[in-house]
């Protein structure tokens, strides 16, 4: 089962990781009690009879492969002074899916959100309420229509870039006697033609100015606003058409820059939110202010 898409929320000064597994959210129990003898807290919670019954009920409802016989044994023993239950023991004995253990960078004990909220209540009623509140806030951000649109537009520009580079290959390379291993250089130059027309700098200039973002695999287009991605998509198609018509690079650049300025100005005036740049999952930049401060 693959765990992906790690995010974090903050509850009572604790950064708590949330991962996706099989399209379900799992919250890190270890983070919830980090610095407070976390493993002991988790084991003490799991050895409680009410917890064992709740875990078993959840698995019965959601897991067809759950081993009920082993669960019954744990339920009978729960509450005894000698009873001890760890996440690993629970998972291996019952084939449970509600709790998982993970090693590596984001290692720890994770639980399905239903179970994690119960663990939060065991810590304190206030902690549970704050946990639910922050989790819901994260879901609202993820489901925000502008974030969804941003991702769609990013995919669109990547698709159009393939059309764009195909046009370069078909209409520029055949006219020049470049060696095949130098085709990437022409692609990069054409990409920068669009970058300078829209963003005012080349990809290399942006990387030099933003080394930390570049180190994390981001590029100038990853922080573009929705409006910029819309305009970029239009520029890619326009540039491909001008390449087919045989316009030289200088003429194409002038036309692309003129179109970019006009379209971006119109779109930004029409919808402010789509003019905001997405720096990362939690940081957004007012692109209009950035332009004014130049």
Asked which of 105, 126, 142 is the last residue of a domain, the reply is 142
Do 129 and 223 lie in a common domain?
Answer: no
pLDDT band for position 197 (cuts 50, 70, 90): confident
Asked whether 17 and 106 are in contact (CB, 8 A), the reply is yes
Residues 261 and 151 in one domain: yes
Total number of domains in the chain: 2
Name the domain boundary from 98, 124, 142.
142
- Residues 237 and 126 grouped into a single domain: no
Q: 287 pLDDT exceeds 70?
A: no
Residues 119 and 231 in one domain: no
User: Which residues have CB under 8 Å from 38's CB, separation 6+?
Assistant: 29, 30, 32
Q: Could you tell me the two tokens for 294?
A: 């130049």
Same domain, 127 and 40: yes
Whether 107 and 229 map to the same domain: the answer is no
pLDDT (mean) for 23-35: 91
pLDDT, averaged across the chain: 78
User: What is the pLDDT at residue 89?
Assistant: 93
On whether both 151 and 288 belong to a single domain, the answer is: yes
Confidence bin at 142 (pLDDT 50/70/90)? confident
The CA distances from residue 212 to 89, 216, 278, 281, in Å, are: 42, 6, 16, 16
Helix (H, G, I), strand (E, B) or coil at 229: helix
Q: Which of 44-53, 160-169, 203-212, 254-263 has the lowest mean pLDDT?
A: 160-169
Do 192 and 100 belong together in one domain? Answer: no
Give me the domain span that covers residue 169: 145-292
Rounded CA-CA distance 237/231 in Å is: 10
Task: Record the pTM.
Answer: 0.51
Regarding whether 121 and 189 lie in a shared domain, the answer is no
Q: What pLDDT was estimated at residue 3?
A: 54
Kindly state whether residues 129 and 192 are assigned to the same domain.
no
Do 204 and 106 lie in a common domain? no
pLDDT digits (tens, 9 = 90+) for 9-21: 999 888 999 998 8
In the chain, pLDDT over 70 holds for what percent of residues?
A: 72
d(CA 9, CA 120) in angstroms, rounded, equals 14
Rounded to whole angstroms, the Cα distance separating 31 from 36 reads 10
Does the structure show a pLDDT above 70 at 284? no
CB 45 within 8 A of CB 53: no
CA distance 190 to 184: 10
Specify whether 171 is located in the same domain as 207: yes
Last residue of a domain, one of 142, 157, 176: 142
**pLDDT tier for residue 198 given thresholds of 50, 70 and 90:** confident
Report pLDDT for 104: 65
pLDDT reading at 4 higher than 80:
no
Facing residues of 112 across strands?
26
Name which of 65, 66, 64, 42 is nearest 115 in CA terms: 42
């Amino acid at each position: 089962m693959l765990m992906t898409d790690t995010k974090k929320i903050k509850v009572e000064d604790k950064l708590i990781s949330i991962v996706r597994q099989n399209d379900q959210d799992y919250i890190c129990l270890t983070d919830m009690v980090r610095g407070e003898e976390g493993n002991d807290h988790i084991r003490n919670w799991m050895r409680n009879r009410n917890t064992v019954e709740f875990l078993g009920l959840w698995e019965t409802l959601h897991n067809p492969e759950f081993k009920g016989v082993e669960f019954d044994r744990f339920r009978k023993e729960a509450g005894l002074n000698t009873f001890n239950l760890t996440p690993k023991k629970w998972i291996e004995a019952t084939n449970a899916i509600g709790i998982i253990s993970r090693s590596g960078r984001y290692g720890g004990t994770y639980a399905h959100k239903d179970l994690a909220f119960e663990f939060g209540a065991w810590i304190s009623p206030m902690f549970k309420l704050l946990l639910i509140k922050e989790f819901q806030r994260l879901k609202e951000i993820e489901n925000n229509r502008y974030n969804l649109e941003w991702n769609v537009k990013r995919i669109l520009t990547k698709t159009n870039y393939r059309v764009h580079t195909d046009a370069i290959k078909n209409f520029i390379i055949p006219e020049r006697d470049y060696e095949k291993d130098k085709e990437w250089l022409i692609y990069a130059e054409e990409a920068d033609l669009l970058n300078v027309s829209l963003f005012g700098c080349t990809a290399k200039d942006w990387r030099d100015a933003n080394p930390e973002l570049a180190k994390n695999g981001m590029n100038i287009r990853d922080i573009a606003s929705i409006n910029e991605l819309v305009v970029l998509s239009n520029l890619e198609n326009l540039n491909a058409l001008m390449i087919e018509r045989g316009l030289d690079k200088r003429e194409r650049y002038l036309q692309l820059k003129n179109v970019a300025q006009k379209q971006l100005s119109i779109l930004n005036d029409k919808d402010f939110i789509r003019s905001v740049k997405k720096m990362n999952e939690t940081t957004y930049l007012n692109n209009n202010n950035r332009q004014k401060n130049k």
